[in-house]
Structure 1
Amino acid sequence: MPDTDPDALFTVEVPAPPPPKGRPEPAARLPVAKVYVDVPLAHLDQLFDYLVPARFDAEAVPGARVRVRFAGQLVDAFLIERVARSEHKNPSFLDKVISPEPVLAPEIAALCRAVADRYAGAMIDVLRLAVPPRHARVEAEPPGEPAPVPAAPPADGWAEYPRGRAFLDAIRSGRQANAVWQALPGEDWPARLAEVAVTAASAGRGAVLVVPDHRDVARLHAACVALAGEDAVVALSADLGPAKRYRAWLRVRRGGARIVVGTRAAAYAPVADPGVLVIWDDGDDQHADQRSPYPHVREVLIERARLGGAGVLVAGFARTAEAQLLAESGWAPQIIAGRDRVRASAPRVSAVGEHDSQLARDPAARTARIPSLAFDAARASIKAGRPVLVQVPRRGYVPAVTCQDCRTPARCRRCAGPLGLVGGPDRPPVCRWCATPAADFRCSACGSRRLRAAVVGAKRTAEELGRAFADVPVRTSGAAEVLARVDAEPALVVATPGAEPVADGGYGAALLLDGWALLSRADLRAAEEALRRWMTAAALVRPGGDGGRVVVVADSALPAVQALVRWDPVWHADLELSGRVELGFPPAVRMASVEGSPDAVATLLAELRMPAGGEVLGPVPVAETRERVLVRVPRARGRELTEALNHAQRGRAMRKDQEPLRVRVDPLDLI
Structure 2
Amino acid sequence: MLGLAHLDRPFDYLVDEAMDSDAQPGVRVRVRFSGRLVDGFVLERLPESDHGGRLAWLDRVVSPERVLTPDLARLARAVADRYAGTMPDVLRLAIPPRHARVEKADPRGDPELEIVAPSAERWHAYDGGAEFLAALHDATLHPRVCWQARPGEDVAARLAELAATVAAQGRGVVIVVPDQRDLDRLDAACRPLLGDWCITLAAGLGPTARYRRWLAVLRGQARVVIGTRSAVFAPVADLGLTVVFDDGDPSLDEPRSPYPHPREVAVLRAHQSASALVIGGFARTAEAQALVESGWARSLTAPRETIRADMPRVEGISDDDRRVAGDPLARSARIPAIAFDAARRALADDAPVLFIVPRRGYLPSVACARCRTHARCRSCHGPLQMGDRGDLSCRWCGRLETRFVCPACGGTAVRALMIGDKRTAEELGRAFTGIPVVTSGGDKIVDEIDAGARVVVATPGAQPHAAGGYGAAVLLDTWAQLDRQDLRAAEEAVRTWMSVATLVRPHGDGGRVVIVADATLLPVQALIRWDPAGFAGHELALRRELRFPPAVTMASIDGPPAAISAFLGMVDTPPGAQQLGPVPLPPGVRPPAGAEPGEPLERVLLRTDRGHGRDLAAALRAAQVLRHARHEDTAGIRVQVDPPTIG
Which category of TM-score, normalised to the shorter sequence, fits these structures? over 0.9
**Cα distance, 1:90 vs structure 2:** 2.6
**Cα distance, 1:102 vs structure 2:** 1.0
1:627 matched to 2:602: yes
1:239 matched to 2:214: no
Out of 247, 259, 268, the residue aligned to residue 303 of structure 1 is 268
Out of 114, 132, 135, the residue aligned to residue 170 of structure 1 is 135
1:262-411 paired onto structure 2 within 5 Å? 262-353=227-318, 356=320, 359-360=323-324, 364-411=329-376
In terms of mean alpha carbon deviation, does 616-625 or 541-550 score higher? 616-625
The answer to whether the 8 Å contact 2:322/2:331 transfers is no
1:193 matched to 2:156: no
Residue 506 of structure 2 corresponds to: 543
The answer to whether the 8 Å contact 1:466/1:472 transfers is yes
Out of 182, 189, 208, the residue aligned to residue 216 of structure 1 is 182
Code of the aligned partner of 2:603: R
Cα distance in structure 1, aligned partners of 2:6 and 2:197: 42
Cα distance in structure 2, aligned partners of 1:106 and 1:612: 35
Residue 213 of structure 2 corresponds to: 248
1:663 matched to 2:639: yes
TM-score, structure 2 length as denominator? 0.95
Cα distance in structure 1, aligned partners of 2:329 and 2:280: 39
The answer to whether the 8 Å contact 2:321/2:338 transfers is no
**Cα distance, 1:643 vs structure 2:** 0.8
**Cα distance, 1:444 vs structure 2:** 2.1
Residue 495 of structure 2 corresponds to: 532
Query: Identity, % of aligned pairs?
Result: 54
Cα distance in structure 1, aligned partners of 2:269 and 2:6: 25
**Cα distance, 1:357 vs structure 2:** 5.3
1:18-33 paired onto structure 2 within 5 Å? none
In terms of mean alpha carbon deviation, does 119-128 or 399-408 score higher? 399-408
Higher Cα Rg, which structure: 1
**Cα distance, 1:470 vs structure 2:** 2.1
The answer to whether the 8 Å contact 1:278/1:315 transfers is yes
Residue 553 of structure 1 corresponds to: 516
Cα distance in structure 2, aligned partners of 1:144 and 1:437: 54
The answer to whether the 8 Å contact 1:172/1:202 transfers is no
Out of 80, 86, 94, the residue aligned to residue 122 of structure 1 is 86
**CA separation of 1:610/1:149 partners in 2, compared to 1, >3 Å: closer, same or farther?**
farther
1:587 matched to 2:550: yes
Code of the aligned partner of 1:657: E
**CA separation of 1:656/1:527 partners in 2, compared to 1, >3 Å: closer, same or farther?**
same
- Superposed CA offset, 1:614-666 (max 9, x none): 11111112285222111111101111111111111110001111222110001
1:433 matched to 2:396: yes
1:638 matched to 2:618: no
Code of the aligned partner of 1:69: R
The answer to whether the 8 Å contact 1:347/1:542 transfers is yes
- Superposed CA offset, 1:539-588 (max 9, x none): 10000110001011112121000111111111111110000000000111
SS at match of 2:98: coil
The answer to whether the 8 Å contact 1:320/1:528 transfers is yes
Out of 446, 455, 458, the residue aligned to residue 495 of structure 1 is 458
Residue 464 of structure 1 corresponds to: 427
Code of the aligned partner of 2:118: P
Code of the aligned partner of 1:613: G
The answer to whether the 8 Å contact 1:64/1:103 transfers is yes
The answer to whether the 8 Å contact 1:349/1:551 transfers is yes
Cα distance in structure 2, aligned partners of 1:552 and 1:71: 62
The answer to whether the 8 Å contact 2:321/2:336 transfers is no
Code of the aligned partner of 1:356: D
1:654 matched to 2:620: no
Code of the aligned partner of 2:572: R
Residue 572 of structure 1 corresponds to: 535
Cα distance in structure 2, aligned partners of 1:218 and 1:178: 26
Cα distance in structure 1, aligned partners of 2:329 and 2:98: 61
- Superposed CA offset, 1:225-260 (max 9, x none): 12222x110011111111111111111111001011
Consecutive unaligned residues in structure 2, runs of 5 or more: 586-597
**Cα distance, 1:360 vs structure 2:** 4.7
Code of the aligned partner of 2:525: Q
The answer to whether the 8 Å contact 1:152/1:198 transfers is yes
Supply the RMSD in Å over aligned alpha carbons. Answer: 1.4
Cα distance in structure 2, aligned partners of 1:574 and 1:300: 23
**Cα distance, 1:433 vs structure 2:** 2.7
Consecutive unaligned residues in structure 1, runs of 5 or more: 1-37
Residue 110 of structure 1 corresponds to: 74
Cα distance in structure 2, aligned partners of 1:657 and 1:499: 45
1:180 matched to 2:146: yes
SS at match of 1:334: strand
**Cα distance, 1:358 vs structure 2:** 5.3
Residue 590 of structure 2 corresponds to: none
Cα distance in structure 2, aligned partners of 1:433 and 1:467: 31
Residue 193 of structure 2 corresponds to: 227
Residue 203 of structure 1 corresponds to: 169
Residue 76 of structure 1 corresponds to: 39
The answer to whether the 8 Å contact 1:209/1:279 transfers is yes
Residue 447 of structure 1 corresponds to: 410
**Cα distance, 1:436 vs structure 2:** 2.2
1:514 matched to 2:465: no
Q: How many residues align?
A: 630
Residue 56 of structure 2 corresponds to: 92
The answer to whether the 8 Å contact 2:26/2:68 transfers is yes
Cα distance in structure 1, aligned partners of 2:276 and 2:396: 45
SS at match of 1:462: helix
Cα distance in structure 2, aligned partners of 1:42 and 1:357: 59
SS at match of 1:226: helix
Out of 12, 17, 34, the residue aligned to residue 54 of structure 1 is 17
**CA separation of 1:261/1:419 partners in 2, compared to 1, >3 Å: closer, same or farther?**
same
**Cα distance, 1:154 vs structure 2:** 0.9
Out of 105, 118, 129, the residue aligned to residue 141 of structure 1 is 105
The answer to whether the 8 Å contact 1:287/1:297 transfers is yes
Cα distance in structure 1, aligned partners of 2:421 and 2:42: 51
The answer to whether the 8 Å contact 1:352/1:366 transfers is no
SS at match of 1:49: coil
SS at match of 1:554: strand
The answer to whether the 8 Å contact 2:225/2:234 transfers is yes
Cα distance in structure 1, aligned partners of 2:468 and 2:460: 20
